[in-house]
Amino acid sequence: MTATATPATVQDNEGFPLHQEDEGGFSMTVMGTVIFLASEVMFFATLLGSYYTLRAVNADSWPPEGIEPEWPLPLLMTATLLVSSVSIHGAVWAVRRDNRTVLTSALAITVLLGVMFMVGEIFEFSIAEFDFEGWKDGPPKGVAEGIVPGAYGSMFWTILAFHGLHVSGGIILNSYILFSALNGRFSSKNYQVLESASYYWHFVDVVWLIVFVTLYVVK
């Protein structure tokens, strides 16, 4: 039984295809990306698990007095990410139909929306009254001297910071994908990398939804 250069449908006597392309199933790029995302799930699970643990430990003062996470801006950021997930899915849809115009526009929109999300994130950090360490400028009005954000503040910003880092990484990745798409790299027969990037982006979005519910709804 020799694996010489013969047409793709050669099989051995148990019916196993002799060439990898005949196998079907997930492409290697997608499979690797999915496993990588599994590791990222564990990373965020640890951070979120820590948040919930500390919340249980500090049952009656979580969030501490004087901290009230506000909805409006984060909700807008959520909408931004959701729309960007739609747009990147649109890009995958387009490449399957070899529609380069829609592909590149959709990717451009995704990148733009990602940037808008990060702008919102940074703005949130700048207007907040507390950072990793504690109050930025002393306790707000009406809050006693001894109350500190402490562990809450650290957990809050750590989760948002790591998510933000992942979004930033995604923006860079999507920009590279956009650049490649503009150079004509992708076609309906070759878009595994684009598909993998879209999975990463969807992952970032799903994590944001859980983060949003944790930090701003459940609290």
Phi, psi of 48 (to 5 degrees): -70, -40
Segment contacting another protein (CB under 8 A): 48-56, 72-80, 174-182, 186-194?
Answer: 48-56
- Alpha-carbon distance of 185 to 99, in angstroms, equals 13
CB within 8 Å of 48: residues ≥ 6 apart = 159, 210, 211, 214
Residue 21 or 72 with smaller CB distance to another protein: 21
Determine if 190 is a binding residue for another protein (CB under 8 A). Answer: no
SS3 187: strand
Residue 38 or 79 with smaller CB distance to another protein: 38
CB-hemisphere CA count at 13 Å for 184? 0
Determine if 158 is a binding residue for another protein (CB under 8 A). Answer: yes
Determine if 47 is a binding residue for another protein (CB under 8 A). Answer: yes
**Size of interface with another protein, in residues (CB under 8 A):** 48
Determine if 210 is a binding residue for another protein (CB under 8 A). Answer: no
Do residues 164 and 121 make contact, with C-beta atoms less than 8 angstroms apart? Answer: yes
- Alpha-carbon distance of 60 to 62, in angstroms, equals 6
Determine if 32 is a binding residue for another protein (CB under 8 A). Answer: yes
Provide the minimum distance between the beta carbon of 129 and another protein in the complex, in angstroms, as a whole number.
15
Segment contacting another protein (CB under 8 A): 51-59, 79-87, 176-184, 207-215?
Answer: 51-59
Of the candidates 94, 155, 177, 193, which one interacts with another protein according to CB under 8 A?
155
Which contacts of 5-8 are long-range, i.e. CB under 8 A and separated by 24 or more positions? none
Residue 38 or 182 with smaller CB distance to another protein: 38
Provide the minimum distance between the beta carbon of 197 and another protein in the complex, in angstroms, as a whole number.
16
Provide the minimum distance between the beta carbon of 162 and another protein in the complex, in angstroms, as a whole number.
7
